[in-house]
Structure 1
Amino acid sequence: MTYASRPFALLITAAGYLLSSPALQAEEVEKSSSVLTQAEGKRQFRGDFFAMYSPVTALDMVRRIPGFSIDDGNGRRGFGENAGNVLIDGDRPSSKADDIFTILARIPASEVAYIELTEQAGADSEAQGKGQIVNVIRKVSEKISGTYEGNIVAGTRYGFQPSINASATLRRNRTTIELNVSSYSERIYGFGPEDFRTGSGAFVERRHYQGNGGFDEAAIGGSIKTRLGAAKVNLNGQVRFEDSFDRREGSYFSSAGLDIGSELLLRDGPINDLGYEFGGDVEFGLGPQFNTKIIGLYRNARESNDSSIAVDRRGQPLTRFETRSRNQPSEAVARIQNDVNAVKGHAIQFGGEVAYNRLDAKFSAASSVAGAVTSFPASNVLVEEVRIEPFVTDIWAVGPSWKIEVGAIAEFSKLTLSGDSLASRQFKFLKPRAAATWTVDSQTTFEFRAERQVEQLDFEEFATSLDVGLGNQVDAGNADLVPEKTTTFSALVRHKFLDRGSIQFRGDYQLVSDTQDLVPITLRDAAGNITAQFDGAGNIGDSKRWNGELEITLPFDWLTKPFGVSGIEVKYVGHYHDSRVTDPVTGQKRRRSNRSLWHQQWDLRYDVSQLGIVYGASFYVEGANNSFFLDEFRRQSEGIKTNIFIEYTKLKLGTLRLQVIDLSDFRRDRFIFNDTRASGVLREIINRKRSLDPLIQLTLSGKF
């Protein structure tokens, strides 16, 4: 059996088991005192369900819910459109500084009363368009509680990198106050060769590289939730500091093995960069069936990066290339949403959102040879966007088994570029959405969806940047970039079995306009003559995409319990992505850039609950990632990422986890053509391999 066919064999085996014993499945679910089916499409998980996993935080608990995967938003335009699928006490966090994984990790498992899973269209008005929602309900308590986690990561050439995260929560009457602090350090050591060949394959030169890099981060934040009369008020904020570095040394050798030179690459930054965010919301009722929520958010950051590469070839002058970038992004969002339940069988939400996004980007580069310095024109761009989005949604309960959600968002926005790039454009988009769910029974759900999405613009792609580690490759800013629009038709089937098992398959087909990919950026002088051509992000017309996702959680108690063994579980997640777009350089059909065709992950877990020991392993592998530049085809691939761990959960201080992380090897093949890729004539082939040292991580996590 081939590796690729194994997941399908597992699916067939699991499906055969499910179909052969539906009565047994129903009996197992009904027997469980820890899972309550409240209504069609709703299940409630109480503490007993999670006991065998010895969870420390709410994140540990949510990750054990069968058939549920956390979604923290997927890059759509607008605060409302980026809602994830996890709520805390019925509310969506009014923050972008922390993702939902971090927020859940701050809630002690002992403070969770229960977790509710809803699997129906319009699962909750707090998360537009989500057909599956988890709501973490905390206990009503007046004691101080919190979580803590300490990490030490070590490797043969890394030293030790400690990280600490802690949070404390105080609840008094109707007020909850939380304070959190975190620090994080990361170090990576890599080494490997890079070979240069002619277009015909003749070996020319080899470069041996070794380097180390790191990233440090510290943050402090907090929130307060209270009631002012009948209104709920939530305020939150965070300040974050970041720093990073990268150092790489290279030795050059000729095809005959002679030492012909050396290279030193340095990257520094962000340089003590500071970012902060303040946000909040207020929610109140204007009537027994009319509820209003107002959300506000402001973010600001400073992002700095300096880089240089010095090459010293025997018998030639020393050359140095240096870059400097200073970016300052900011964002302000105001949103109002109103929920009306005055019409029987319908839940209507309407409102609007106003957003202002800004990026002040400054970039400069200079080259020096034998003391002579050549400065390149600076690239200073100010990008501003004002966006207004009115919206309306209706959730229609057709019956106990069917729910339909229909809605639409209208967008009116203006984008302005000033500085070295001058442009002004106005956009008008309509983003309709329709979703329907059929809850066959408490175990099986079908979901059908059609929607139009507008992807978020990355403002940094309007500004020029340069990668000194890739032969000073220029990523030119593109003033003509517009958002990508996607119409998606999708279907999903999800089935639960044996209380803790699930199987899910999703497929979708997408029609894309203004597809964003790599495009040639042409610079011309005043007379219209071409002075230079670079690669950059741009739009290349219409495309088609299709995706498939298979997820299986398979507990083995039904097989191993007769032999006195329980707690073994396997989870598989597989994704397939394909697309067709017309290449702007060759005119031929191809896949989109920077997206692998497939990826798979296997997780094995064995909970020996009576001993407080957990064994486990994770394996992740994905297909090659292709990129199509003006004069280059690039293919990147990575090996299998492996994580093997053991946990001990019965320490008084918490859970002790030891894991060995084997970071995947990396390979990059660059095929550089004469003139452009359309010529079909190879000029140079560059093959790069990089190996990374494995890491050992020791983690102690607990709650109080």
Structure 2
Amino acid sequence: MKVREPVSGASHRALSLAVLMLGLASAAQAAPSLTPPAPASAATTFQAAFFTPYNPVTAADMVGRVPGFELRDGDDRRGFGATAGNLLINGERPSTKTLSSDLLKRIPASSVVRIDLLSGSDASVDVRGQSQMVNVIVSQAARQDASTTYTVGARHIQYSNRIGWVAQLSRTFTLAPNATLAVDFQSPNLLGRGVVQERLTNGAAAIPTGSRLQLQKPQNIGLTSSANLRWRPGPSDSVNLSLQVAPTWNDLEIVQAEVSPTNAPRQLLLGQTDYDRNYTVEFGGDWEHRLGSGASIKLITLVSNSSVDQHDRFEIQTFPSSFLTRTQDRSTRGGERIVRGQFKWQAAAHALEVGAEGAFNYRDTTLDITNQLRGGPVVPVALAVSDARVEETRGEVFASDIWTVNPRLTLEAGLNVEVSRITQTGDQQKERSFQFVKPRVSAVYAFNPKSSLRFSLQRDVAQLDFAEFSSAIDFVNTSTIQGNPNLAPEKAWKARIEWERQFAARKAMTVAVFADKVQDVHDLVDIGGFDAYGNIGDGTRIGIELRGSTPLTAIGLPNAELRFNGLYQRTRVTDPITGEDRAFSIPLERQGTAAGAPVLNAGNKPWAYVINFRDNLPTLSSAWGVSLVQWAGREEYRRAELYEYDRAKPRLDLFFETTAVKPVTIRIFANNLLGASEERTRTFFKGSRASGVVDRTELRLFKGGPEGSRALGFQVSGRF
């Protein structure tokens, strides 16, 4: 049975949960303060005053300035525990899959007491295999006159000739001495445009055969509403509840014209994509009870639903006389249910944890495609694996021990044992069972309080994307990906050595080398002459990562700071079509921003780097800065096609911000000043890539989109 939950039903439950939160908090009685004491371990502590020169508005602004640290939102892995990032809030991991960067934007800077930078050797908190963590300490006694933050802004995106906006409002309510309720509303609006120019050639001699011009006009409007309740009903208990509702209203218009080498019209395509329903709802909660003598139990639950209805209509005029109308209706319903229980015991030298987790995931997809010639009947188009429901039931038990051998040496060992069953119904019927044993070990040696060396070895199992079990078609690029019910998760043995050094308050460096032995590499495969996501055998990944920060006093800039994050890696796997060694080709990673600054997201790319420069101007109550981001090209290997993506220019962002106009922070920015655009070469081979004979090529220059457009704008942030 397909789950088709109306928005009104989701909204009703959201309102009921919010009322429940208010009721719980109102009934709370006085309890001890929720602000944890300063850590007794060798953590590096940054008091709130440390971040004052950066004029922070939210906790995200503060975490973004912790020397030598990069916030990670967590990996897309199986289970709740494996997806956790490197963020703690008051010593606890958030019981939600909301991005860590988004969670921090909802915490006013005025509520942050301090930020502790923790290493993997700290057994006093849940480091769970991380080499570095930040623990954001939020005060329950935040002043009411400074508990509301807001951000409003506007920006003009190149090619669009339209103004987009962003608005965010966050407020923290102290409902009782032992309970707070934080609410957040965000409404981003992205009114972009893309310009695509393509040159078509024939054969290895690259004889021109025509050209295409494509204009894309996307409109993305979203509203994210969230609430988080933190409640201490007694000295031994704590409760956290979170709710997020995020509807979006998106559409896309496309116009594409193709002409011959003499500019004679060949084809005209008009496309419209509408998302009639597009929303996600997530509710998470946890309850922790401290038993005394260093022992505690914790229960965590997470429930999420998503729903997307997509309608595509394309009118295609092929000159001189053919006219075809193509439609695509796709309906997708998905959800996740997780229950996790864990027991912790802190002894003199050991931090033990045991527990179990159960989960149920599903994705239900229907896809209907039609063709209609002018004046003719509507003809349904059959596509294999177009209707599919995929369900996964999974159970896991786990145990770990962090052993503080002595003040300098800490060892961690853990074991997760997982069993799961995946069932697919619809056009394809399939049921499979999996068992995974996932051990991990790590050791941290602290040379001194400012320098440490960490080694880790773990068995990692990737999360399956249920969207790849069903087929998808792209009319504009004439590309079809067939669903693969035999897709298996990628597995890997991952080894990593990391050296961390804190030289001074604002000067730090981390160097890491890593090597992965990957099994069942996730890539593109050939199924009956069609491309599909699948597994292509075993491969390797080796590399080095460097990140650091330093003040620039030595070169005459006493208030300036430089931050660097870079990665170089090499991936190798045997190509199933040609039999030759090559790099991993997918997934396609999206570059993004966190706390207003670009972040490193290399994925499987050979290299990437991010450089951030900031110079404070105290006499003007202002600051300015520059960010430079660049990453390597990537390849996508299909049965008879090779996609090569490249970007010749780096992305260059510039900002100026000031607090001279009290009581707000004004930020003016210009992003992608160099106009970095993506270039794609699509090579078609005769028969398959194994032939090596080029049939034709398409050379595309994509101006616009998230990474190819200049953007000029401003933001005003403040609190009241």
Normalising to structure 1: TM-score of the pair? Answer: 0.90
Q: Does 1:573 align with 2:541?
A: no
Which of 541, 545, 549 matches 2:545? 549
Q: Which amino acid aligns with 1:150?
A: V
Q: How does 1:203-242 map to 2 (within 5 A)?
A: 203-229=208-234, 230-242=236-248
Distance 1:148 1:512 in 2: 45
Kindly indicate whether the alpha-carbon contact (under 8 Å) linking 1:308 and 1:468 is maintained by their aligned counterparts in 2. Answer: no
1:700 alignment partner in structure 2: 716
Distance 2:611 2:182 in 1: 36
Kindly indicate whether the alpha-carbon contact (under 8 Å) linking 1:122 and 1:131 is maintained by their aligned counterparts in 2. Answer: no
**Distance change >3 Å, CA 467–CA 250, structure 1 → 2:** same
Distance 2:379 2:691 in 1: 32
Distance 1:147 1:88 in 2: 19
Q: Which amino acid aligns with 1:350?
A: V
Which of 172, 181, 185 matches 1:181? 185
Q: Does 1:650 align with 2:633?
A: no
Which of 413, 420, 426 matches 2:427? 420
**Distance change >3 Å, CA 432–CA 49, structure 1 → 2:** same
Distance 2:279 2:140 in 1: 36
Q: Does 1:559 align with 2:555?
A: yes
1:452 alignment partner in structure 2: 459
Q: How does 1:265-664 map to 2 (within 5 A)?
A: 265-269=271-275, 271-342=276-347, 344-370=348-374, 371-377=376-382, 379-471=386-478, 473-522=479-528, 533-560=529-556, 565-594=557-586, 595-638=604-647, 639-662=649-672, 664=676
Give how far 1:62 is off. 0.9
Distance 2:267 2:477 in 1: 18
Distance 2:451 2:617 in 1: 30
Q: Secondary structure at the match of 2:400?
A: strand
Q: How does 1:250-265 map to 2 (within 5 A)?
A: 250-265=256-271
Q: Which amino acid aligns with 1:597?
A: P
Distance 1:142 1:699 in 2: 25
Q: Which amino acid aligns with 2:403?
A: W
**Distance change >3 Å, CA 85–CA 535, structure 1 → 2:** same
Distance 1:332 1:610 in 2: 53
Give how far 1:417 is off. 0.6
2:595 alignment partner in structure 1: none
Give how far 1:375 is off. 1.4
Q: For structure 1, which segment, 142-151 or 578-587, has the greater mean C-alpha deviation from structure 2 after superposition? A: 142-151
Distance 1:159 1:494 in 2: 46
1:136 alignment partner in structure 2: 136
**Distance change >3 Å, CA 500–CA 253, structure 1 → 2:** same
Please provide the CA RMSD for this pair. 1.8
1:149 alignment partner in structure 2: 151
Distance 1:462 1:124 in 2: 42
**Distance change >3 Å, CA 649–CA 124, structure 1 → 2:** farther
Q: Secondary structure at the match of 1:104?
A: helix
Give how far 1:461 is off. 0.5
Normalising to structure 2: TM-score of the pair? Answer: 0.88
User: How much identity, in percent, do the aligned residues show?
Assistant: 29
Q: Secondary structure at the match of 1:256?
A: coil
Distance 2:310 2:173 in 1: 40
Kindly indicate whether the alpha-carbon contact (under 8 Å) linking 1:143 and 1:170 is maintained by their aligned counterparts in 2. Answer: no
Give how far 1:599 is off. 1.2
- Give deviations 1:582-611, integer Å, cap 9, x for gaps: 111111111111332111122111111232
Q: For structure 1, which segment, 221-230 or 617-626, has the greater mean C-alpha deviation from structure 2 after superposition? A: 221-230
Q: Which amino acid aligns with 1:154?
A: H
2:172 alignment partner in structure 1: 169
- Give deviations 1:663-702, integer Å, cap 9, x for gaps: 5311110110111111111111111112234211210111
Distance 1:660 1:180 in 2: 27
Kindly indicate whether the alpha-carbon contact (under 8 Å) linking 1:546 and 1:578 is maintained by their aligned counterparts in 2. Answer: yes
1:684 alignment partner in structure 2: 696
Q: For structure 1, which segment, 392-401 or 151-160, has the greater mean C-alpha deviation from structure 2 after superposition? A: 151-160
Give how far 1:168 is off. 0.8
Q: Which amino acid aligns with 2:87?
A: V
Q: For structure 1, which segment, 303-312 or 488-497, has the greater mean C-alpha deviation from structure 2 after superposition? A: 303-312
Unaligned runs of 5+ in 2: 1-36, 587-603
- Give deviations 1:379-403, integer Å, cap 9, x for gaps: 1111000111100010000111111
Give how far 1:310 is off. 2.6
Kindly indicate whether the alpha-carbon contact (under 8 Å) linking 2:241 and 2:286 is maintained by their aligned counterparts in 1. Answer: yes
Give how far 1:558 is off. 3.3
Kindly indicate whether the alpha-carbon contact (under 8 Å) linking 1:643 and 1:659 is maintained by their aligned counterparts in 2. Answer: yes
Q: Which amino acid aligns with 1:447?
A: R
2:86 alignment partner in structure 1: 85
Q: Secondary structure at the match of 2:113?
A: strand
Give how far 1:213 is off. 1.0
**Distance change >3 Å, CA 659–CA 123, structure 1 → 2:** farther
Q: Which amino acid aligns with 1:476?
A: Q
Q: Which amino acid aligns with 1:425?
A: R
Give how far 1:196 is off. 1.1
Q: Secondary structure at the match of 2:67?
A: coil
Q: Which amino acid aligns with 2:565?
A: V
Q: How does 1:111-130 map to 2 (within 5 A)?
A: 111-121=111-121, 125-130=125-130
Distance 2:124 2:259 in 1: 62
1:32 alignment partner in structure 2: none
- Give deviations 1:217-262, integer Å, cap 9, x for gaps: 1022212111223311111112111121221212222112223332
Q: For structure 1, which segment, 349-358 or 651-660, has the greater mean C-alpha deviation from structure 2 after superposition? A: 651-660
Q: Secondary structure at the match of 2:223?
A: strand
Unaligned runs of 5+ in 1: 1-35, 523-532
Q: Secondary structure at the match of 2:613?
A: strand
Q: Secondary structure at the match of 1:651?
A: coil
Give how far 1:164 is off. 0.9
**Distance change >3 Å, CA 122–CA 77, structure 1 → 2:** farther
Kindly indicate whether the alpha-carbon contact (under 8 Å) linking 1:667 and 1:690 is maintained by their aligned counterparts in 2. Answer: yes
**Distance change >3 Å, CA 51–CA 301, structure 1 → 2:** same
1:57 alignment partner in structure 2: 58
Distance 1:312 1:377 in 2: 22
Distance 2:616 2:468 in 1: 47
Distance 1:123 1:198 in 2: 63
Which of 221, 246, 255 matches 1:249? 255
Distance 1:79 1:140 in 2: 27
Q: Which amino acid aligns with 2:654?
A: I
Q: For structure 1, which segment, 649-658 or 536-545, has the greater mean C-alpha deviation from structure 2 after superposition? A: 649-658
